[in-house]
Amino acid sequence: MSAKHSIIPVFIPHYGCTNSCVFCNQRRITGFSATGVLDVLHAVEAAVREHKDAKLAELAFYGGSFTSLPIEQQNEFLLAAQPFLSNGLNAIRVSARPDSFSSSDAVRLKGFGVRTVELGAQSMCDDVLIASQRGHTAADVARASKTVKNAGIKLILQMMTGLPADTNEKSILTAKRLIELEPSGVRIYPAVVIKGTELYEMWRCGSYIEHTVEDAVELCARIYAMFEQSEIPVIRMGLNPTEDLSGGDAVAGAYHPAFGELVLSRIHYTKAVELL
């Protein structure tokens, strides 16, 4: 990611989440536990001090569903960030659930300096969303995406592969439907079996069969090419590596600390073979 698109993340794990998706354990994924406003202030101060050029960075609230929080708490977090906007940071971005983002949210967030919203679509197939206990529909993703874009806010969409009830064909269909929504960028997260999740229990009893790193690399290379052809940047592939995940919390599935590099290597290899 170039400097002009760099992000200073502040994690608020599970804050605002209205249900528990089978694959999710934000503490193990992010390495953080619940965060209060004072923690946010300290994290932002430290991050801005360490960042080489904060004026080229966005402050990002990740790890929860920001607009599912009580409005008062959302405003507390956003107000805590305002001094840095006037003296350093470029803008704010938040992550949200598609079923918890309205036009009034868009207007309010934009007033606080939010310029990017990331929606966790995960799949555009309702049977996959149900099996993964996402609690929203594909129609919710389309509606929320339109709301974000109509407000003049940059839209980033997140998708997952290898979820319960998913297939390669369904993941390809999800990518096609996300392309139709014309986001400014996408993230692709292959499913990982993490300790402490329902997916882990499903995997242990054999009701969920994970896709391997090799399977996910092959599939994500195809999906990446689709987004590339549509001129939609893929800004992340695979979970960000943490000590917990690399230390054994990721017990199965498509976890690799350099997953994105594996996918790009596969793409370049395939292109080289075609040229030869």
pTM of the model: 0.89
Distance from C-alpha of 220 to C-alpha of 223, rounded to nearest angstrom: 5
Parse the chain into domains and list their residue ranges: 3-275
Tokens of residue 45, six digits: 């101060």
Structure tokens of 262? 């594996």
Q: What does the pLDDT look like over 217-230, one tens digit per residue?
A: 999 999 999 999 99
- HSE of 8, CA atoms in CB hemisphere, 13 A: 28
Cβ neighbour number for residue 268 with a 10 Å cutoff? 11
Q: Given this model, what pLDDT does residue 50 score? A: 67
Looking at the chain, the number of H-run helices and the number of E-run strands are 11, 9
Domain 3-275: CATH superfamily is Aldolase class I (3.20.20.70)
Local structure of 247: helix, strand or coil: helix
What is the pLDDT at residue 3? 40
| pLDDT beneath 70, residues of the chain | 1-5, 13-18, 26-37, 40-41, 43-44, 47-56, 87-88
Residue 217 and residue 238 in contact, taking contact as beta carbons nearer than 8 Å: no
Q: H or E segment at 84?
A: helix 71-86
Which amino acid does the sequence have at 2?
S
248 class by beta-carbon count within 10 Å (0-12 exposed, 13-18 middle, 19+ buried): exposed
Q: Facing residues of 118 across strands?
A: 95, 156
- pLDDT tens column, 232-273: 999 999 998 888 888 899 999 999 999 999 999 999 998 898
Tally the C-alpha atoms within 13 A of residue 28's C-alpha that lie toward its C-beta.
18
Half-sphere exposure in the Cβ direction for 209 (13 Å, CA): 4
Question: What is the Cα–Cα distance from 215 to 192, expressed in whole angstroms?
Answer: 12
Inter-residue contact 48 to 8 (CB < 8 Å)? yes
CA angle 118, 120, 124 (to 5 degrees): 125
In Å, what is the CA distance from 58 to each residue of 93, 147, 199? 7, 21, 33
